[in-house]
Structure 1
Amino acid sequence: MEFHEVVKDRYSCKGFGPGKVPAEKLNAILEAGRLAPTAKNLQEQRIYVIQSEEGLAKIDAATPCRYGATTCVVVAFDRNNTFTYPGGKRNSGVEDASIVATHLMLAAANEGVDSCWLNFFDPDKLAEALGLPENEEILMILDLGYAAEGTKPLPNHASRKPLSETVAYL
């Protein structure tokens, strides 16, 4: 698929059917995340693929927003392996994990796999439920699967502000 079409057509799927994401498509999606840029190439991302009934039940206990997805990808980062920016107020953890997650989301659309970026959950409680190391912080969950029949983008999906409202040339 052409890149402009991928970014224009992808939407947050709020209803998944029962079909599983084939391994080759999931691997292509995960590879796109692996190739994402990170500060100083630290690659602090940690990706957890959840497909088991037990794992999906833990996702369901953390959020009402799985929407029936058969695969969830939890994107986290290693807090002990980030780059601290000049001034010492920020580090690269959230930023780099967000870039990785965006690569995953767009790669899913490119593979014909629907997705939904989730952040409606308590990351500390989910990390504990999944048994993640204490040095890892969860950024988001990415639902993956195929839209159930009749599922479509929200009515405001194509509504975007004009560039003149969001961009300034200095």
Structure 2
Amino acid sequence: MEFFDVIKNRYSVRGYNQDPVEKEKLDKVLEAGRLAPTGVNSQAFKIFVIDTKKHKESLLKIYPKPWFVEAPIVLCVAMAPSNTWVRPWDGKNISEIDGAIVMDHMILAATDLGLGTCYIGAFKKYAAVDFLELEEEYEPLLFTPLGYPNNESSGPGRKTIDELVVYK
């Protein structure tokens, strides 16, 4: 797929079939996350690959929507804010920015490979921390199911360029 086709074709998938994700495709998705840029190249993240069949009950405690566990895999990006660059002029820790870039790289790679995803940021943090058995320095930032969609995009439309862009 051409890059802009990938961007146009990506949508929040809320329905997956049970077909397994091929290892080669999973490896490419993970490689896209590994290659994502981070502030001062801190790479202060971990990517968790979670088997939904083995961990369905635990995953539903983190995000209780049935479609969340339909895909064969759930990915989680966890960040170590204490190891992430902080802007010296205002003290802004860019951990969440870095983690969003990592997840976005993986989600766009997944789309290019014909896989579906959905950003999940509204999850139960402490259930995730317990399940992932995170070291104290890490905190979960984003989840996404990863699998083959069983539906087509039915999401809301997008605003126009004129509604979103301001020229100064």
Q: CA RMSD in A?
A: 1.4
Instruction: Indicate the residue corresponding to 1:145 in structure 2.
Output: 147
Q: CA shift at 1:62, angstroms?
A: 1.3
1:160 and 2:158 aligned: yes
CA contact (8 A) 1:62 1:122 kept: yes
Residue segments in structure 2 that go unaligned for 5+ positions in a row: none
Match of 2:120 among 118, 121, 141: 118
Percent identity over the alignment is 35
Structure 1 consecutive aligned stretches of length 4 or more whose deviation exceeds 2 Å: 52-57, 86-89
Aligned CA distance change for structure 1 residues 10 and 105 (closer, same or farther; 3 Å)? same
Query: What SS does structure 2 have at the residue aligned with 1:24?
Result: helix
Query: What SS does structure 2 have at the residue aligned with 1:153?
Result: coil
Instruction: Indicate the residue corresponding to 1:136 in structure 2.
Output: 138
Tell me which amino acid in the other structure corresponds to 1:131. E
Most deviating of 127-136 and 81-90: 81-90
CA contact (8 A) 2:52 2:71 kept: no
Task: Give the TM-score of the pair, scaled to structure 2.
Answer: 0.93
Instruction: Indicate the residue corresponding to 2:13 in structure 1.
Output: 13
Deviations along 1:53-99, whole A, 9 cap, x unmatched? 33333111211231511100011111221111123431121000000
Q: CA shift at 1:127, angstroms?
A: 1.1
CA contact (8 A) 2:37 2:102 kept: yes
Residue segments in structure 1 that go unaligned for 5+ positions in a row: none
Task: Give the TM-score of the pair, scaled to structure 1.
Answer: 0.92
Q: CA shift at 1:120, angstroms?
A: 2.3
CA contact (8 A) 1:118 1:142 kept: yes
Match of 2:97 among 95, 120, 141: 95
CA contact (8 A) 1:58 1:130 kept: no
Q: CA shift at 1:24, angstroms?
A: 0.3
Corresponding residue pairs, total: 166
Tell me which amino acid in the other structure corresponds to 1:120. A
CA contact (8 A) 2:33 2:106 kept: yes
Q: CA shift at 1:52, angstroms?
A: 5.4
Find the aligned partners of 2:127 and 2:87 in 1 and give their Cα distance.
28
Instruction: Indicate the residue corresponding to 1:31 in structure 2.
Output: 31
CA contact (8 A) 2:79 2:95 kept: yes
